[in-house]
Structures are given as C-alpha cells and as structure tokens.
Structure 1
Amino acid sequence: MKIVLTGSLGNISKPLTEILVKEGHDVTVISTDPDKQGRIQAMGAQPAIGSISDLPFLIKTFTGKDVVYCMNPIDFTARDIHTWDRNMDNFSEAIRVTGVKRAIVLTGWIAHLLRSIHPEKRFQALPDTAVTFVRPGPFYSNFYHLKDMIRQQRMIVSNYGGEDMVAFAAPEDIAAAIAAEMNTPAAAGLHVRYVASEELTCAQAAQIIGEAIGIPDLRWIVLPASQVQQALEATGVSPEAAGLLTEMQENMHNGKAQHDYYLNRPVLGKRKLRDFAREYADWYHQN
C-alpha cells in the first residue's frame, strides 16, 4: 500500500515507519525539518518536507495514497490552542479532496470528552472513508516532562493521580497497533481503537518510576483543578492551554475516560512500565 505518515520521526512515527517499510509498503513521511530528509530516506521511506498547516501541501502529499496516518500533537506552549483544530480540519479536507479511503487518526482516550476542542468531530463529514480514531492512554514518555517536578518536589502533582487508574501506553505499542489497523480492512465510517500497554493506578506508576530513579517514596498527589491551572499559568502557560490540560486531567480523575475505555478494552501491549522505567532512570541521572 501507499501510505503517508505524519509525525516526522517522533516517538510513534519512527517505529511505525520501520514496521511498515519492513512489511513492504510504500511509505512517505511528512516532516517540517529538512534535516530529517536523509534519515527518512535511510529508513527506506520517502520524505515530504512541509507543514500540516499547509493545506495545498497536504493535498499534494495525500494524492494517490491508500492510507494516511494523521497525528497532530497539542502544543501547550501555544497561545492559540485552536491551531490544533484547524490542522485537524486540514487533514479532513485533504482526505476529502484526494479521495483517500482509509485514515488512521491519533487522538487520545479523552478526545471524545473535551469541550474546548473537538478533534474527532472534524472527520464526521467523510462518509466514504474508513476513519479509525486510535485512542491511546497517557504515554510512558510523558514522564520525561516531569523530570524537574520529580527532582525538585520529590512528587508528581496534577489534578488526577493517587488511586486513579490509567491505561498507560508505550509509543512502540501504539505504533504496532496503528500498523495492525492499517492492515485490517474496515468499512466506510468512523471506528475507534483504544491502545494501552499497562493498566496501573497513578500511585503504582509513581512507585515504579520512583524505585527506578532512587526515590522509592515518590508519590502522585491530586490537587484541585483550579490550583493546578493557576500553577500552570504562573509558569507562562496561556490560560486557554492551562484550561485544556486541566480539563483533560479532570476526565481521568472523574472516571469518564475509564468508562468508555472499559467498554472497548484492548489487548494490552508488550512493553510494561518497568521496562520503560529502566531506560528513564538512565536518562534521568544523565540530565
């Protein structure tokens, strides 16, 4: 198949590229970084240098392809988080114009619950395309962003945590699930696939990470959403972005995220948090 991947050579798209090239597919990887061109080619894929915010570029790149993978990470440092929605609109329009019949869209296990942005609604106007929303839980790699908090406060603080159950996901397992989805026929319309590697409470996850890095009493503390939002804004995060982040976390704390997840519970992936924690510990002590 002729497949287009977004996400450059990130945590998901790099292993996904490796899987699809090995399977013999014709893979094009979109990246905004011209310096990635050689690395993409070395992996056996074709680079397409451009931005997903550029609709004509997307249309050109999607033309003649069988499957597209749409990945649009939220930039919480941006002043206007609705750029994320506009990029999703670009994906949908490029799919409609080019007539691509299969799309895999990375959203997240709380995407359907959000009030401030609506990533999945953007694809409802594609009745002739089989669209699968891949909904992973929080990535293991999110712990990289918590390094300073852990080191300085010896705890993790958010408006979810403690005994809240989280379906953590390894990027490698997400890539494997996306590749499997691409190779699975699907009827036109909207579909959902959850992805998880290990189901743990936040307290259990903190203990695993803490033991690995030498802080065995590491805790994951829950604070009110208003307090978390104020703290985020104090670090320079825009009120809009801080509100989105606390909204996402609140849906993990109040059980809404877990409700639909359990109704569509996936087979868990191979990579467990302890596997990641060993690598994280090496990185943590070097940075």
Structure 2
Amino acid sequence: MKYVITGSAGNVSKPLAEMLLQGGHDVTVVGRNPDNLKALVAKGAKAAIGDLHDVAFLTDAFKGADGVYLMLPPMWNSDDQKKESIVFAEGFKTAIQATGVTNAVFLSSYGAHRLDDAGAISGMGLAEKVLNTLDGVNILHLRAGYFYTNLLLSIDLIKTAGHMGNMFEIPDGTFTVVDPEDIARAAAQALTAGIKGHSFRYIVSDESGTDEIATLIGKEIGIPDLKWLRVPKEDFRNVLLSYGFAKGAANDYVEMFETLDSGRLFEHYVSSKATYSGTSIETFAKKFAAVYKQ
C-alpha cells in the first residue's frame, strides 16, 4: 500500500513513516527541507519537497496514495492561526478530491470542540470541519493530548531558574498528556487497518497534572523539590515575541493556554468518557532525565 505522510520528520511523522516502512509499505514523506528527510529516505522512504500552501504540489504528492496522514505545520509567523488552518485544510481537501484518495488521518487535538477561544487548537477544530465536508472519503481525526515532548522546553528554565512552568497549572489526574510515538502507532493502525466514515478518537497516554509532572521529573533529575510555577500571561506573550512569533500567533497561544488553564479544553474528553493508554508519565520522566543529563 502507498501512504503519504505530511509533517516532514517531526515527532509523530518520523515514527509513523518508520512503522509503515517496517510494514513493507510504499511511503512518501512531505517536507520543505530535504536534509530533514535524509534519515527516512535512507530507510526507503521517498521525499516530496515542497510547501503545504502549494495545492498543485500537494496534488502531485498525493497521486496514487491509498491513504494520507495530514497535519498542520507550525504557524509562528501567522497573524491568525484559525484562518490559516482553514486555508491549509482547504488545500488538503482540494488535493484529496483531485487525486481520489479515500482514506485520511488528521492530527487534531484535545479541545478541538472549542472553535472560537482556543487559539491554535481552535484552528485544528476548524480544519476538522473543512475535512468533514469531503464526500466518499474516510477521515479519522486523532485528538491528541498535550505532547510529552513539549515538556522538554522546560529544560533551560530548570537549569536557569530552578523550576518548571508555563502559563497554566492543571490539577493532578486531569491533564491529558501523550507520547508522540503513541499517536504514530494509532495513525499507522488506522491507515493500514482501514477507516470508515468521518470520526474522531482521543489519543491520550496518561492523565497527569502539572504538580505531578514536576515531582516525577524532579525525582529523576535529582531535584526532589522541583516545582511547577504559572508564568504571568504578559511575560509569556513577551517571551514568544522575543522568539520571533508574530503578534497574532503569540496572541493565539496565549488564548490557547488561557483556555487550557481554565479546564475548558478537557470538557468533551471527560464527557465522552474516553480512555487512555500508552507511555506513562513515570516512563516519560525517565526519558526527560536522559535528555536533561546529556
């Protein structure tokens, strides 16, 4: 079977491509930088080099595919991530219609039911809506939890300030967190086993909380009293701007984390009684420590 994977060699796309290659499938990986794809090409993947804004390029890449894995690229330079997410989704839709692809997996997020007040996550929900207008195409939206790998961004903060933190604090047992490799496994299973109709599935490895995360990571890195502190909104916004984020993108992330902090991103996950399984936060804490100590 032939599969096309967008997302270059990212945290989900790379292990997904590797899983499909190990299964003997024909895999094309889509990215803008050929250097990022060299390792996958060495393992047998084909590279399609281009921009996801380019619908003609996407159409050519999708030709002959039995299934495609779709994800929105980072939009740090965007003035409005919600609107740009719709643009990307419309491009995916056009390419799928033009090539007759019948199976698609889209990387979405917990909280995608909130279309107005969750920044980049609202953009994913709006993209789901666009893709669900495709007739005769089976689509599975993977509503993934908060990536474990995002926690690695706290390494410099721990080393310079002695604590972890972000613009939110989440009570223990309520924070949906996920290992990207668990997402990749779910995507590979869906693409190869078959998808029916339009649906979504929550992909959550564990349910944790910011205090528990700090405690477990602190234990593994030798700082047993490590704390998680909430970063003031304006400080967080200014940090993003200093990193080169567009003002609109920075505002979208602030909006997203405000809604995350309120707990509103978890409402649908809780009401749907979704289950979780995969890499535990305890296991990830050990992985975090290995990176921290490098």
TM-score (norm 1): 0.88
Cross-structure match for 1:206? 214
Contact 1:6 1:69 in 2 (8 A): yes
Task: Name the CA distance, whole Å, in 1 between partners of 2:154 and 2:71.
Answer: 23
Cross-structure match for 1:60? 60
Residue 187 (1) aligns with residue 161 (2)? no
Cross-structure match for 1:93? 94
Residue 137 (1) aligns with residue 145 (2)? yes
Contact 1:197 1:269 in 2 (8 A): yes
1:195 is displaced (CA, Å) by 0.5
Shift of the 112–17 alpha-carbon distance from structure 1 to 2, 3 Å rule, reads same
Query: In the alignment, residue 144 of structure 1 is paired with which amino acid?
Result: L
Greater shift, 151-160 or 263-272, is seen at 263-272
1:7 is displaced (CA, Å) by 1.4
SS of the aligned residue for 1:125 comes to coil
Indicate which of 211, 214, 217 corresponds to 2:225.
217
SS of the aligned residue for 1:51 comes to coil
Cross-structure match for 1:249? 257
Contact 1:53 1:87 in 2 (8 A): yes
Listed as ranges, the matches of 1:77-156 within 5 Å are 78=78, 81=81, 82-115=83-116, 116=119, 117=123, 118-156=126-164
Cross-structure match for 2:248? 240
Query: Which stretches in structure 2 are left out of the alignment for 5+ residues?
Result: none
1:232 is displaced (CA, Å) by 3.8
Indicate which of 270, 273, 287 corresponds to 1:279.
287
Task: Name the CA distance, whole Å, in 2 between partners of 1:72 and 1:276.
Answer: 25
1:176 is displaced (CA, Å) by 0.5
CA-atom RMSD, angstroms? Answer: 2.4
Residue 16 (1) aligns with residue 16 (2)? yes
TM-score (norm 2): 0.86
Listed as ranges, the matches of 1:17-36 within 5 Å are 17-36=17-36
Contact 1:194 1:264 in 2 (8 A): no
Residue 269 (1) aligns with residue 277 (2)? yes
Shift of the 278–170 alpha-carbon distance from structure 1 to 2, 3 Å rule, reads same
Query: Which stretches in structure 1 are left out of the alignment for 5+ residues?
Result: none
The percent identity for this pair of structures is: 34
Task: Name the CA distance, whole Å, in 2 between partners of 1:245 and 1:181.
Answer: 30
1:230 is displaced (CA, Å) by 4.9
CA deviation map 1:229-267 (0-9, x unaligned):
355446553331122112222232222222211244554
Shift of the 240–20 alpha-carbon distance from structure 1 to 2, 3 Å rule, reads same
How many equivalent residue pairs? 285
Task: Name the CA distance, whole Å, in 1 between partners of 2:137 and 2:285.
Answer: 39
Task: Name the CA distance, whole Å, in 2 between partners of 1:284 and 1:38.
Answer: 26
1:79 is displaced (CA, Å) by 5.2
Cross-structure match for 1:172? 181
Task: Name the CA distance, whole Å, in 1 between partners of 2:36 and 2:258.
Answer: 37
Task: Name the CA distance, whole Å, in 2 between partners of 1:220 and 1:194.
Answer: 26
Shift of the 156–78 alpha-carbon distance from structure 1 to 2, 3 Å rule, reads farther
